[in-house]
Chains A and B, each alone.
Chain A
Amino acid sequence: MIKINNLHASIEGKEILKGLNLTVNAGEVHAIMGPNGAGKSTLANILAGREEYEVTAGSVDFDGVDLLDMDTEDRAREGLFLAFQYPVEIPGVSNINFLRTALNEIREYRKEEPISAKEFMARVKEKSAIVELDAKLASRSVNEGFSGGEKKRNEIFQMAMLEPKLAILDETDSGLDIDALRIVASGVNKLKSDKNATIVITHYQRLLDYIVPDFVHVLFDGKIVKTGGKELALELEEKGYDWIKAELV
């Protein structure tokens, strides 16, 4: 589904990604772990299309499409979804209005009919239940006054509404208590299918007890240096990252 090849990227002249390679196929869950500063969030932001980063080499093929050549909104319309680490508050823009606008712009891009008000509200009801998001929150302004847990659940709610092909969860577990974590993970698991894929970027192994990965990658100093199964996450939890650094020398 997505093939990242030799990706080099910098911000303000400093190179963060130094030749990252990653392939994710439909139906798979990939976890990316690594020490702080390794480039995990950079990767997520570059895939989403943040303009502050400069891609200096490499390519990203997203289901046959050159992702790096597309504007942020077109990447979303092609089926890419980034669940933000720090979802921003947007006072005055209602969750409902924003989602319906997004859904309809995506549909227009795909030459589909816009969603009817009735069908949309039915979908809101159905999907907000998946992450136990109170329907009342759905009609408020985007993330305004939401607790940390509610913001993260709102990200997954949006994911449920937009049905992306590839979901990138950027440290979705950070700042969550165990109950919120379980709800978020359960939501992600319910949305998994053999037609879509998920990249889970996380610092803590704990999330991966709930969202079980098919592959675990270690992102270190701007590159994927090691790939394994879910046991690799447990090994990292136990031993930290120093042994990886030693292996590379």
Chain B
Amino acid sequence: MNDTLTIETAGTFAQNWTETNLPFSAKILSEAKTVLENTPFPTTRTEAWKYTRVTKISKSAFQNSASTLANVAPFNVLTDAITLVFVNGHFQKDLSSNEVLDGLTISNLAACSDEQLATLGEIVPLENEVFSALNTLYANDGVFIHVQAGKILSKSIQVLFIQDGDSQQGQIRNFISVEKNAQAHVVMGYFSADATDCFSNSLTEVHLADNANLTIDKIQLENETALQIATEQVNQTRDSIFTINTVTLDGLLVRNNLNIAVNGQNCNTHLNGIYLTKGRQHVDNHTVVDHRVPNCESFELYKGVMDENSTAVFNGKVFVRKDAQKINAFQSNGNVLLSDNATINSKPELEIYADDVKCSHGSTTGQLDEEAVFYLRARGISEKTARHLMISAFVGDALEKIENEEVLNFVEGILATKFGFSLH
């Protein structure tokens, strides 16, 4: 009798997908394949996925059809930026900018030389990482950004990732490298055009060289049926500054894996996030800051507002390794629940092995202060506006971390139309 238990692995899920044409090393492709053949999708019994079920992804079948859009006007966050457009993970050249900017090499990965992508995948752990393995073996395309040493880009970069169609999947792979003393600002926007039940799996590798400065404004605005897994794998070397603002305002299931390895001294790392959920949405922000060397600082501020039956997860891990002395690591997560059925699971985790550090973490969860709501109403402000004033006050400090005015205006615009705020 054959007693073997067949584990449904991720390999079965993607068996009809087309393997990638991107020049990953044979070793990496082989490892990805092994992971997919042997590893099932994470269940809620896996600690890192305790509060996030992925059955909506794993139990569905997705296609990857070539789809093109007529225009991206509604998705333009920036007016005068170098813009690249990807639909279901495929580069749409006619909607993308071909402007040449001094110090910048930008294209879609499929158009890069093997040389440019020599280190592709090297900093991405694959063991037990089903979504990273899927993204690697079946990568469609994504953006390649390289900023030359000493160059401070005169314009921002805007990359738009758009889902379109029914049950479409897109495996988006991005590679960003900012050389010594260089500086750049990148907006990464995830949107839905005419999409139902689509699945985006985005993986962005970021390399910051000495004294490099990179700010990423990540906006997640796929529609209420969308499924997204987004991973950023960041490597910082000495004196570099990395800032990422993650704004999650829509999507049925969104899981962010933000992993930052601080491998150089005197680095600054800023992770900020805002998530507003309603309906039956689920947003999970998992972050890891790994302080491996001394004299660095990291600041993390995430604010969430959950309404109706939605749920959210915040899991912020900070590692301070044994030799990483004089680290200042601050983490704060604040949550407001607007309804009795909304849920937040917030877990700060500090693993400190050094002994001369300043680390703190704080997590709060509460409701709107009803006394304050009454006070505002007693001055003539409608109940609805009063609650909105208080919600925008609550997310205000995280929102203000967005330095680029156009991005801030764009986000405030969404808050106004989608959530009914009028902030001014």
Contacts and interface: CB of A to CB of B under 8 A. Distances in A.
A57 interface: no
Given A88-B369, A90-B369, A102 B379 contact: yes
Contacts, number: 75
B379 A90 contact: no
Interface in B351-407: 369, 371-372, 374-383, 385-386, 389-390, 392-394, 396-397
Given A92-B394, A92-B396, A73 B382 contact: yes
Given A76-B377, A84-B375, A90 B382 contact: no
Contacts of B390: 90, 92-93
A102 B375 CA distance: 11
A75 B380 CA distance: 7
Interface in A38-84: 48-50, 71-73, 75-77, 82, 84
B376 A49 contact: no
A88 B368 CA distance: 13
A87 B374 CA distance: 11
Contact of B378 (A82, A90, A97, A103): A82
A75 B396 CA distance: 30
Nearest to B391: A92
A89 B392 CA distance: 16
Contacts of A88: 369, 371-372, 375
Given A72-B377, A106-B380, A101 B385 contact: yes
Given A91-B393, A92-B397, A73 B380 contact: yes
Contact of A76 (B369, B379, B385, B397): B379
Contacts of A141: 393
Contacts of A142: 375
Contacts of A72: 374, 377-378
Interface string A155-190: 000100010000000000000000000000000000
A90 B371 CA distance: 9
B380 A76 contact: yes
Given A73-B383, A88-B369, A102 B376 contact: yes
A90 B376 contact: yes
Contacts of A92: 390, 392-394, 396-397
B379 A162 contact: yes
A105 interface: yes
A50 B389 CA distance: 20
B361 to A, nearest CB: 20
Most B C-beta atoms less than 10 A away, residue of A71, A73, A158, A162: A73
B376 A98 contact: yes
A101 B383 CA distance: 12
Interface string A96-134: 011101110110010000000000000000000000000
A162 B380 contact: yes
Contacts of B392: 92
A211 to B, nearest CB: 21
Contacts of B371: 88
Given A90-B369, A90-B372, A98 B380 contact: no
Contacts of B389: 93, 97-98, 101
B333 to A, nearest CB: 16
A102 B393 contact: no
A121 to B, nearest CB: 14
B303 to A, nearest CB: 10
B355 to A, nearest CB: 35
Interface string A215-237: 00000000000000000000000
B380 A105 contact: yes
Nearest to A86: B371
A53 to B, nearest CB: 12
A77 B380 contact: yes
A22 to B, nearest CB: 20
A75 B378 CA distance: 8
A101 B380 CA distance: 9
B49 to A, nearest CB: 33
Contact of A105 (B378, B385, B393, B394): B385
Contacts of A162: 379-380
A87 B375 contact: yes
Given A90-B393, A92-B394, A93-B389, A101 B375 contact: no
B369 A73 contact: no
Contacts of A50: 374
A92 B383 CA distance: 17
Nearest to B389: A93
Given A90-B390, A92-B396, A93-B390, A105 B382 contact: yes
20 contacts: A49-B377, A49-B378, A50-B374, A72-B374, A72-B378, A73-B383, A82-B378, A88-B369, A88-B375, A92-B394, A92-B396, A93-B389, A97-B424, A98-B389, A101-B381, A102-B379, A103-B380, A105-B380, A141-B393, A158-B379
Given A72-B377, A73-B378, A97-B389, 7 more contacts: A84-B375, A87-B375, A88-B372, A88-B375, A98-B381, A101-B381, A105-B385
Interface of B: 369, 371-372, 374-383, 385-386, 389-390, 392-394, 396-397, 424
Interface of A: 48-50, 71-73, 75-77, 82, 84, 87-93, 97-99, 101-103, 105-106, 109, 141-142, 158, 162
- Nearest first, the 4 closest Cβ-Cβ pairs linking A and B are A92-B393, A76-B380, A102-B379, A72-B377
